[in-house]
Amino acid sequence: MTDFYGTRQAFPAAVLLPALPALLAIALAVWPLPGAARRLNHERINHEGLKTARTAVILRAGRSPALGRAAVLGAAALLGILLLGPAGSVSGALLAALAVRYREHRLRTTRGVRSLTELTAGLRVLIGELGTGAHPSAAAASASTDTGGDVSELFGDLAVTSRLGGTPAESLGAKRPPPELLPATARFARCWRMSEQHGVALGRLLETVREDAEHRVRVVRDIDSKLAGPRATAAVLSGLPLLGLLLGETGGADPIGVLVSEPVGQLLLLVGTALLCAGVLWVQRLTEVAMRP
């Protein structure tokens, strides 16, 4: 195989040796830090010195997401230029950006399902406590204890506001929750406000919010399982160009040498990578639209 400068050399050993620093940089960029998410329990104390809500707070320590993305893109670009020349640098950065986008989308989906599941569990506890005649602040404190993350903090704030004589509906509307919880918390606030203004049983109203959240979780999980097949098909189709390159190398056609050393090969590498990324982005777009409950 010939490199970008027209020199014959063995592939891939002679090329992979200088690429080892880039590979190490990618590994360090995506390696999870120990204790990156530590869950600490603390007590909230009101002005009377009474313990009002026990909330779980997730402290996320470690690298910023933007810095991690930049490190991955930079390492991929460096690896690309070492292996495939200037066009390989652009192609590596594009493929790395595509992989980062897909990973973040999957994390958002998982986090949204987890948050809605926590919310339904907290609402179940809240409704049960209200059904036994408990004060709303005590019921919200119990829901905060039995949940975690943003949901626990939401119920903790609700308990504090109710204990201090504030309006829980205003507390729910004032603090902007995570995007995945926004529709449910908006309905939560409306139901609480309706109960305060019209005297409707709060537990019955909150039951509709809980049922709607559970329905959303079921829909998202069902669609996600049904999309497993199309995702697998898209992954196989995306890997076909690489399979073609490997078959060409085994047959002695030296396609990688053409891509690395010839100007036309560099252009074809850019065009092929762009088309591959466009196809994967289109599939991701279709699945993202389908995942919306």
Is residue 175 one of the residues assigned to a domain? yes
Number of folded domains that form the chain = 1
Q: Is residue 122 part of a domain?
A: yes
The pLDDT of residue 169 is: 61
In a domain, 255, yes or no: no
Please give the residue range of the domain that contains residue 274: 87-229+269-292
Give CA torsion, residues 244, 249, 251, 255, to 10 deg.
70
What pLDDT, on a 0 to 100 scale, did the predictor assign at position 114?
87
**Domain assignment present for 75:** no
Q: What is the pLDDT of residue 37?
A: 41
Q: Is the residue at 124 inside a domain? A: yes
- The pLDDT profile of the chain, 293 residues, written as one tens digit per residue, is 444 445 444 444 444 445 555 555 555 555 554 444 433 333 333 333 333 333 333 333 344 677 777 888 888 888 888 888 888 888 888 888 888 888 888 888 888 888 888 888 888 998 888 888 888 888 888 888 888 878 888 888 888 877 877 676 666 655 666 777 778 888 888 888 888 788 778 888 888 888 888 888 888 888 888 888 888 888 888 888 888 888 888 888 888 888 888 888 889 889 998 998 898 888 888 877 766 65
Check residue 66 and give its pLDDT.
74
Residue 74 forms part of a structural domain: no
**66 assigned to some structural domain:** no
Q: Which pair of tokens denotes residue 87? A: 């066009």
